[in-house]
Amino acid sequence: MHVKSFESTTPLMDESTFIHETAVVIGNVELGVDVSIWPLAVVRGDIHRIKIGSRSNIQDGSVVHVTHASDFNPGGYPVSIGEDVTVGHNVTLHGCTIGNQCLVGMGAIVMDGAVIQDQVIIGAGSLVPPGKMLESGYLYVGSPVKKARPINEKEAQFLTYSPQNYVRLKNKYLLEQTLSLPE
């Protein structure tokens, strides 16, 4: 596990957190209960803060980063990810806000100042431009994203199933780590 302090700020996490040994978590980062960070993911809170809510997962190869405060952007852009969020493989989340029970599809990019409300699905490969707001209860696709349609009942159920599944999987990984510790 590569958890690193930056400028005297150390990531905060619960003992239930799983961070794969090839993932990196740096600086001003707060990880909720049962969060999982998967292989080769980077969560870099070096120039602003990142908060990831309980039972959310950041999958393989994803990057979560922030924008510093400057004359161009007085407040900067932190990252806030709600609870029960699934962030697919190779996603880039940069200076954005993601609500609860969302799914960010593989390869999607969410840019500075974007706000994703609760229960949103962002399709694989989609681009959410800076400052865009995605309304709760919809599927968004494309580059740039467009509202495609309301999410259906099966998709709404998946928004709670997926994070629960990742909690079960990370628990298996944590158990495996515990069993393989030298005596």
Name the average pLDDT for the chain: 96
Compute how many other C-beta atoms are within 10 angstroms of the C-beta atom of residue 156.
Answer: 15
Could you tell me which of 83, 86, 13 has the C-alpha nearest to residue 45?
A: 13
* Whole-number Å distance between alpha carbons of 156 and 102: 9
pTM of the predicted model, to two decimals? 0.95
Q: Which of 1-5, 21-25, 159-163 has the lowest mean pLDDT?
A: 1-5
Residue 178: pLDDT band (50, 70, 90) is confident
pLDDT at 181 over 70: no
The residue type of 99 is: G
Show the domain range for 166: 2-179
CATH number of the structural domain spanning residue 14: 2.160.10.10
pLDDT at 159: 98
pLDDT at 182 over 70: no
Q: What's the domain count of the chain?
A: 1
* Whole-number Å distance between alpha carbons of 117 and 135: 6
* Whole-number Å distance between alpha carbons of 121 and 124: 9
pLDDT digits over 67-123, tens only?
A: 999 998 899 999 999 999 999 999 999 999 999 999 999 999 999 999 999 999 999
**What is the three-class DSSP state of 177?**
helix
For residue 181, give the DSSP letter. S
Tell me the CA distances in angstroms from 147 to 4, 105, 117, 131, 135, one per residue in order.
Answer: 38, 15, 13, 15, 9
